[in-house]
Chains A and B, each alone.
Chain A
Amino acid sequence: MAASLRHSTLFTTVCRQLNSTLWLNVGGRSIHSSAVCCKNRAARIRVGKGDRPVTYEQALHPHQIAHRKGWLSQHTSNLQGEDGAADRTVEDLFIRRLIYGTFHGCLADELVIKRRGNLLVICALMLQKLPPHKYYFLVGYTEELLSHFYKCPVKMEIQMLEEKSVYKYL
């Protein structure tokens, strides 16, 4: 990235010199080059060949949150006058990794984590990869483990899907 930046700055300096000599030329065109760093890459899947299936959550970019997208983690600590945002974020990350590992390959989409008072609700969409009694066991296991870890009641609400719901192909 640094090498491309050097090339682009060289190019722009050359163009500026050319422009300064041709200032008499009205309507002179100049080249606009952007460093690769200018583009936003957070939580975005770039458009490709058209063979990659992508869910609604993945297809919409983060600037669409509160417009076409909802929130994956719902708590009050990011509101004006409330605190504890860092703690909630760390808890969310831990929960997402734990459940991604516990239900490996079975998650259809991102988790939705809700906090109502003391209660922690984890909503997940699962694929039908394992027999049901295994799902029941894993749900009970994660609920028990997380409630002992975070000292609050934890509930998991899962919904089964046959396959991942595809929104578009990128």
Chain B
Amino acid sequence: MTASMRIASVRLLSKTRHYFSSEVAVQPGARTVHHQPASTRFVFTSVRCNVCLIPVAFLHKGRAYGTQSSSVTVTEEPDLLFQKLSVLVKSHDKAVLDSYEFFATLAAKELGLTLAKVFEPPKNIERLTLLKSVHIFKKHRVQYEMRTHYRCIEISRITGSTSRVYLEYIQRNLPEGVAMEVTKTAIEKVPDHIQMPLWSVQSQEKQGSQ
């Protein structure tokens, strides 16, 4: 796999899987590959924070048709590592969520990701009681309710590039009326200045001075 290799589209899962299984290394400092689809704009930049919560409902996606062929770049900076990638989908229709869960779990298995948990948080019902008539008739009311069903897919031990590819594929095929919230828990290397506790350093200095 050379740096100049081009991947035609994200939907060629078999190619992507082969690519990632050979290239991505777990240790920091390894060369990582950034897959940059040219046409879409994403909020998922490489943020060095522990938890990012970016609801897809606020995501501005580019045009659904007319995608150009994407190029692959290789950089020296280390890839982000995520301990947990939590994808929460919500919708009014439970059947749609069932089918989407099947699709997302199948995609994860094809990419070789470890599915930690796939569960259904309890539904939330928001009820409103309003007056039935425009004028007077206080005793006659009408009640409405809005049901939100949830489904959560948790993936453990995933790299930044893989998560980007998986999330892009998942989100391109998100059905209408379904919202998604993604939570990523990143792993960072412990900073050098707190590798050794202060009291042990001071005791070493005292021993050295003595």
Residues of A near any B CB (own CB < 8 A): 35, 37-38, 40, 42, 66, 71, 74-82, 114-119, 121, 153
Q: How far is the CA of A5 from the CA of B57 in the complex (A)?
A: 48
**If A35-B140, A66-B92, A66-B147 touch, does A75 touch B61 (CB 8 Å cutoff)?**
no
| Total B residues in contact with A, Cβ cutoff 8 Å | 28
**If A35-B140, A71-B92, A80-B90 touch, does A116 touch B64 (CB 8 Å cutoff)?**
yes
Output the nearest chain A residue to B180 by Cβ-Cβ distance.
A76
**If A66-B92, A80-B90 touch, does A37 touch B179 (CB 8 Å cutoff)?**
no
Shortest Cβ distance from residue A50 to the other chain B in the assembled complex, whole angstroms: 29
**If A37-B137, A116-B174, A118-B61 touch, does A78 touch B92 (CB 8 Å cutoff)?**
yes
Q: How far is the CA of A75 from the CA of B177 in the complex (A)?
A: 4
Residue B55 interfacial (CB < 8 Å)? yes
Shortest Cβ distance from residue A112 to the other chain B in the assembled complex, whole angstroms: 10
Output the nearest chain A residue to B63 by Cβ-Cβ distance.
A153
Q: Are A71 and B177 in contact (CB under 8 A)?
A: yes
Complex A-B: 28 CB contacts under 8 Å = A35-B137, A37-B137, A38-B140, A71-B93, A74-B176, A74-B177, A76-B177, A76-B178, A79-B57, A79-B90, A79-B91, A79-B92, A79-B146, A79-B179, A80-B126, A80-B146, A81-B90, A82-B55, A82-B57, A82-B179, A114-B176, A115-B177, A116-B64, A117-B59, A117-B60, A118-B60, A118-B64, A153-B64
Residues of A within 8 A of B147 (CB): 66
Shortest Cβ distance from residue A139 to the other chain B in the assembled complex, whole angstroms: 16
Output the nearest chain B residue to A116 by Cβ-Cβ distance.
B176
Residue from B62, B91, B93, B177 in contact with A114 in the complex, judged by beta carbons closer than 8 Å: B177
Q: Are B176 and A115 in contact (CB under 8 A)?
A: yes
